Chain A
Amino acid sequence: MLTVFALASAVTYAGGYRVGVQGQRALAMGHTGVAVVNSAELGFFNPAGLVHLENQLTISAGVSAVFAEVAWQNSDTGDIARTDNPAGTPFYFNASYKLNENLALGLSVYTPYGSTVKWEDDWAGSHLVNNIQLQAIYIQPLVSYKIADFFSIGGGPIFVTGSVNFNRNLTRTLSDIDGNRSNVTIDASGVTEWGWSVGGLFTFTEDLRLGVNYRSEIIMHAEGGEADFENIPNTPLAPFQDTTFDAELPLPAELTVGLSYELNEKWLLAFDYNRTFWGVYESLDIQFANGTTSTNPRAYEDSSTWRFGAQYEATDKLTLRAGYYFDESPVQEGYFAPETPRNDSMGFTAGLSLDVTSRLAIDASFAYIRFDEVDASYNHYIDENGQNVPFGGTYKSVAFIPGIGVTYKL
């Protein structure tokens, strides 16, 4: 019965459902930006570009509302379930201060992982997940240095503080005497870790830039988290008592290479390629204080995202943007779990910036993430009798992300 402690994939969800929302301007252009010198959003996308910003002080801040829902059904049994996720609210704050022509300092705060999946309690897949919430806040001081006119570098250490709260039923059937399903909540907060990112920006001509950015892998070590068991029948046959746990949750490294090209005064085109090194996520192992360990195979594979964006300066005060990306899922066949309802997706994005004053602009973006309907299953759940019990069905996901932000220049 101890194998029932799969913490499933708190992180999986984050990774699997990571929708880039680290800047309204970038997001509106398909979340491209590694080679786009546009705003302090560069703090996230490529700090090497900060030194190229025109103003002495540039600040970009914003917030989005992530409306992401998943539906699952099984036509053999006629069961259907839909998530009822509260809107996620990822935010970002980027500031860049130019000390001189060759050196800029910056500070970025962003939330690359932060979302919620909430299925109806006791739904058909409740032995895998009832609900999960995950949040990680990245805080990163930055330095950006122009080595030569055609090349600059930038980077800095990343401080991460994260939390996870995850609930699922212990098995498909265990309940207390009244039939209330036995479940566990695993909660860890204030988990901190360090990482780093570094980027380089080549400026071939005034119109053509090439950017490279690498963000390091960060393994979150949750230590002494709380495991809370509810509705456990009073019997030695179900020896579940509240305890603590340790677990490691990898946030994989990401490499981005991209181009930006200013077609003319009004048009700018951008292309980014992301490679996320999800291969590090082989298994999620949770060690409980009572000496038991739960092993949950994930077997992710490195995945790629191709992003395309365009920007058009409609008037001297209004800039319009649009973009598209194709996002490859790291989840492999047979590992498709309902807290990671992630197959390949396409993002369609649009947005605008409106200069309210010469210093202040309002940035807005909107993204629609489209997933194909997919028949998939998770085949690595081991039940209380040691039996491998697949959980499958048809999944369909969709996400809408409106966002608003400001850019301030001084």
Chain B
Amino acid sequence: MKNYIKYFGILALGMVACEPEFENPVDDQDAYTSGEADFSNYVALGNSLTAGYADGTLYLSGQQNSYPNILAQQFAKVQETNGFTQPLVADNSGGLLLNGTQLPGYNTRLVLGVSESGPAPRNYGGAITTDVSNILTGPFNNMAVPGAKSYELLAPGYGSMEALMQQRANPYFVRFASAPNTTVVADAIAQDPTFFTLWIGNNDVFLYAVSGGVGVDQTGNLDPSEYGRNDISDPQVFAGAYSQIVSEMVEAGAEEGVLLNIPDVTSAAFFNTVPNNALVLNAEQAAGLTGYFQAVAGIFTQYLMSQQVPAAQAQAIASQYAITFNEGPNRFLIEVPVTQTNPLGFRQMTQEELLLLTINQAALKQQGYGTAAITPQVMEVLGILQAGGQPTQEQAQLVLNAVNAIDDKDALDQSEIQAIDAATAAYNQTINQVAQANDLALVDMNALSIKVSNEGIPYDAGTLTGEFAVGGLFSLDGVHFTPRGYALVANEVIKAINSTYNATVPKVNIGNYKTITPSND
């Protein structure tokens, strides 16, 4: 009789061990296919956008949500891989130290703080603990270096501490370069990659844009050693570097890969958050400003005439400064180069010109930044003029000096936008040709960036747009993406892989990835 119980127990235990099993489990080896691609050793090359940089810095959870890391997790659902390593920073504060001291310009991440005046980005108050002098031991699958330009991926010494001390290297690469004199690409190919993604060239034009165009458009100058940080790289310099990076990767064995082209730079939230017509005036204010600029024109006419310029010509030149303001929104004034036709060096912005996110918005609202800083003394002179009086030379100068047009560094004017667009188009033409020549997949980030800012990308909980802070795509620096934005990039890469290599890599649900981080800490 005891036997019955025994058998019953064995039966029970045997069945208890069973798990619910799907007919077609997604973790089955054949659930998905990598097609002609081989993801077993995936290496990512790029800049901040590939590193997972967000909110103005590199921090741990940003890296964990980098698009290469998201991709690697999806690749692991398709085939057995060697894993995916990243040169992780030490914390979620962001920022960098060098030998215990904060590196200037490498501050903590931006978070959305809430104060009495409402929500606004601010720097997180946590301690910075990532020290550049703490060199990591690789290899790292994610070889992205924030701040890198195209040709810098091939530059020996770009990860050298010695060169960093002379401000000729990149602290992010110093952290994980295998040797002081190595290059990013050399460290990448040393890993015998089977697959790669490359998203580089953004900084060749982008740093110029975010500087407000204070850099130089180096188109025509083929010597990058003469370039400043904020300059636009010559398209031939870009093309040479880009082709070399790709051919070295392909020769190293990564015959399949994905190239991502350069987004439409000016579609970033960084350039589209502060409108150029945010000067909202009531009728009285408009009349006051109009009167002031009439005075400017009048004074300048007289000045020109005093410099022996014929009256008609003097009036013609000075009349451009008699700017009329209307009740409601008005465009700001910006500084432009002083020329013979614009001797005072300012004018009203045109419709397509852009203001930068970093502009002092309080000054725009309260200090006449973008129009004129009209002091009581200026008012006095205006009163004299109105009464038909003649101001002294000093008083006249006071009026002219009150013009407070927006600095070049805070705006992108037409010529700067043209230079950006021209360089971007040239780079993208190169990327397209290199992709075709090497049978690599191409992701048109340029078209995607325009689509996001124009109509948005629908997902399961709404629409992802480029609107600052609330749209979901851009992190609080207005340039780099949120985890949800990077998940979108990962899906675009997957789409390109699947169509180019006959693979069936599953996409991610971008709604499961977070956007900006609110914090009052």
In the complex, which residues 99-139 of chain B have their Cβ closer than 8 Å to any Cβ of chain A? 111-114, 119, 124, 126
**Interface bits B18-35 vs A (CB < 8 Å: 1, else 0):** 111111111100011000
A-B pair count, CB < 8 Å, reads 131
Q: Does A292 reach chain B (CB closer than 8 Å)?
A: no
Q: Does B449 reach chain A (CB closer than 8 Å)?
A: no
Whether A233 pairs with B518 at a CB distance below 8 angstroms is yes
**Interface bits A148-187 vs B (CB < 8 Å: 1, else 0):** 0000000000000000000000001111011100000000
In the complex, which residues 380-410 of chain A have their Cβ closer than 8 Å to any Cβ of chain B? 383, 385, 387, 389-390, 394, 396-398, 400, 402
Q: Does B512 reach chain A (CB closer than 8 Å)?
A: yes
Most interface-central of A76, A177, A238 (chain B CB within 10 A): A177
Q: Does A272 reach chain B (CB closer than 8 Å)?
A: no
Q: Does A74 reach chain B (CB closer than 8 Å)?
A: yes
Give the secondary structure class of B's interface.
Answer: loop
In the complex, which residues 467-521 of chain B have their Cβ closer than 8 Å to any Cβ of chain A? 484, 506-509, 511-515, 517-521
Q: Considering the chains assembled together, what is the distance between the CA atoms of A71 and B126 in angstroms?
A: 40
Q: Does B302 reach chain A (CB closer than 8 Å)?
A: no
Q: Does A373 reach chain B (CB closer than 8 Å)?
A: yes
Q: Does A325 reach chain B (CB closer than 8 Å)?
A: no
Whether B506 pairs with A76 at a CB distance below 8 angstroms is yes
**Interface bits B43-63 vs A (CB < 8 Å: 1, else 0):** 000000000000000001100
A82 surroundings in chain B (CB, below 8 A): 19-20
Q: Does A196 reach chain B (CB closer than 8 Å)?
A: no
Q: Considering the chains assembled together, what is the distance between the CA atoms of A69 and B15 in angstroms?
A: 12
With A75-B24, A76-B507, A237-B112 as given contacts, are A400 and B4 in contact (CB-CB < 8 Å)? no
Whether B12 pairs with A402 at a CB distance below 8 angstroms is yes
Most interface-central of A75, A78, A402 (chain B CB within 10 A): A78
Whether B512 pairs with A373 at a CB distance below 8 angstroms is no
Say how far A394's CB is from chain B's closest CB, in angstroms: 6
Q: Does B16 reach chain A (CB closer than 8 Å)?
A: yes
In the complex, which residues 57-79 of chain A have their Cβ closer than 8 Å to any Cβ of chain B? 65, 67, 69-71, 73-79
Q: Does B461 reach chain A (CB closer than 8 Å)?
A: yes
A291 surroundings in chain B (CB, below 8 A): none
Q: Does B1 reach chain A (CB closer than 8 Å)?
A: yes
Contact partner, A177, options B9, B126, B462, B515, Cβ 8 Å: B126
B513 surroundings in chain A (CB, below 8 A): 173
Whether A352 pairs with B4 at a CB distance below 8 angstroms is yes
With A124-B512, A177-B124 as given contacts, are A70 and B112 in contact (CB-CB < 8 Å)? no
Q: Does A278 reach chain B (CB closer than 8 Å)?
A: no
With A177-B92, A390-B460 as given contacts, are A318 and B517 in contact (CB-CB < 8 Å)? no
Q: Considering the chains assembled together, what is the distance between the CA atoms of A390 and B125 in angstroms?
A: 37
Say how far B53's CB is from chain A's closest CB, in angstroms: 16
Q: Does A235 reach chain B (CB closer than 8 Å)?
A: yes
Say how far A81's CB is from chain B's closest CB, in angstroms: 10
Whether B511 pairs with A172 at a CB distance below 8 angstroms is yes
Whether B8 pairs with A235 at a CB distance below 8 angstroms is no
Whether B507 pairs with A400 at a CB distance below 8 angstroms is no
Contact partner, A80, options B23, B27, B507, Cβ 8 Å: B27
Contact partner, A400, options B15, B27, B61, B484, Cβ 8 Å: B15
Q: Does B11 reach chain A (CB closer than 8 Å)?
A: yes
With A124-B512, A174-B514 as given contacts, are A396 and B519 in contact (CB-CB < 8 Å)? no
B113 surroundings in chain A (CB, below 8 A): 235
Whether A237 pairs with B507 at a CB distance below 8 angstroms is no
Q: Does B74 reach chain A (CB closer than 8 Å)?
A: yes
Q: Considering the chains assembled together, what is the distance between the CA atoms of A362 and B12 in angstroms?
A: 16
- Which chain B residue has the least Cβ–Cβ distance from A180? B61
Q: Does B64 reach chain A (CB closer than 8 Å)?
A: yes
Q: Does B5 reach chain A (CB closer than 8 Å)?
A: yes
Q: Considering the chains assembled together, what is the distance between the CA atoms of A315 and B186 in angstroms?
A: 82
Q: Does B175 reach chain A (CB closer than 8 Å)?
A: no
With A177-B124, A237-B518 as given contacts, are A396 and B22 in contact (CB-CB < 8 Å)? yes
Whether A237 pairs with B119 at a CB distance below 8 angstroms is yes
Q: Does A18 reach chain B (CB closer than 8 Å)?
A: no
Say how far A21's CB is from chain B's closest CB, in angstroms: 14
Whether B506 pairs with A78 at a CB distance below 8 angstroms is yes
Q: Does B77 reach chain A (CB closer than 8 Å)?
A: yes
Q: Does A346 reach chain B (CB closer than 8 Å)?
A: no
With A172-B512, A173-B514 as given contacts, are A398 and B19 in contact (CB-CB < 8 Å)? yes
Say how far B73's CB is from chain A's closest CB, in angstroms: 9
With A71-B22, A82-B20, A318-B1 as given contacts, are A179 and B64 in contact (CB-CB < 8 Å)? yes
Say how far A371's CB is from chain B's closest CB, in angstroms: 8
B74 surroundings in chain A (CB, below 8 A): 78
With A76-B507, A77-B509, A235-B518 as given contacts, are A179 and B92 in contact (CB-CB < 8 Å)? yes
- Which chain B residue has the least Cβ–Cβ distance from A68? B20
B520 surroundings in chain A (CB, below 8 A): 234-236
Whether B4 pairs with A354 at a CB distance below 8 angstroms is yes
Whether A387 pairs with B77 at a CB distance below 8 angstroms is no
A70 surroundings in chain B (CB, below 8 A): 20
- Which chain A residue has the least Cβ–Cβ distance from B483? A173
With A73-B25, A74-B26, A364-B5 as given contacts, are A237 and B16 in contact (CB-CB < 8 Å)? no
A354 surroundings in chain B (CB, below 8 A): 1, 4-5
Say how far B10's CB is from chain A's closest CB, in angstroms: 11
Whether B506 pairs with A173 at a CB distance below 8 angstroms is no
In the complex, which residues 124-165 of chain B have their Cβ closer than 8 Å to any Cβ of chain A? 124, 126
Whether A366 pairs with B11 at a CB distance below 8 angstroms is yes
- Which chain B residue has the least Cβ–Cβ distance from A126? B512
B1 surroundings in chain A (CB, below 8 A): 317-318, 354
Q: Does A194 reach chain B (CB closer than 8 Å)?
A: no
Beyond A75-B31, A78-B32, A178-B61, 13 additional contacts (C-beta under 8 Å) are A69-B20, A76-B509, A173-B484, A177-B111, A177-B519, A233-B518, A235-B519, A235-B520, A236-B520, A317-B1, A366-B11, A396-B22, A400-B18
- Can you name 11 A-B residue pairings with CB atoms under 8 Å? A74-B26, A75-B31, A76-B507, A76-B509, A78-B31, A78-B78, A80-B25, A235-B113, A237-B114, A385-B461, A385-B462
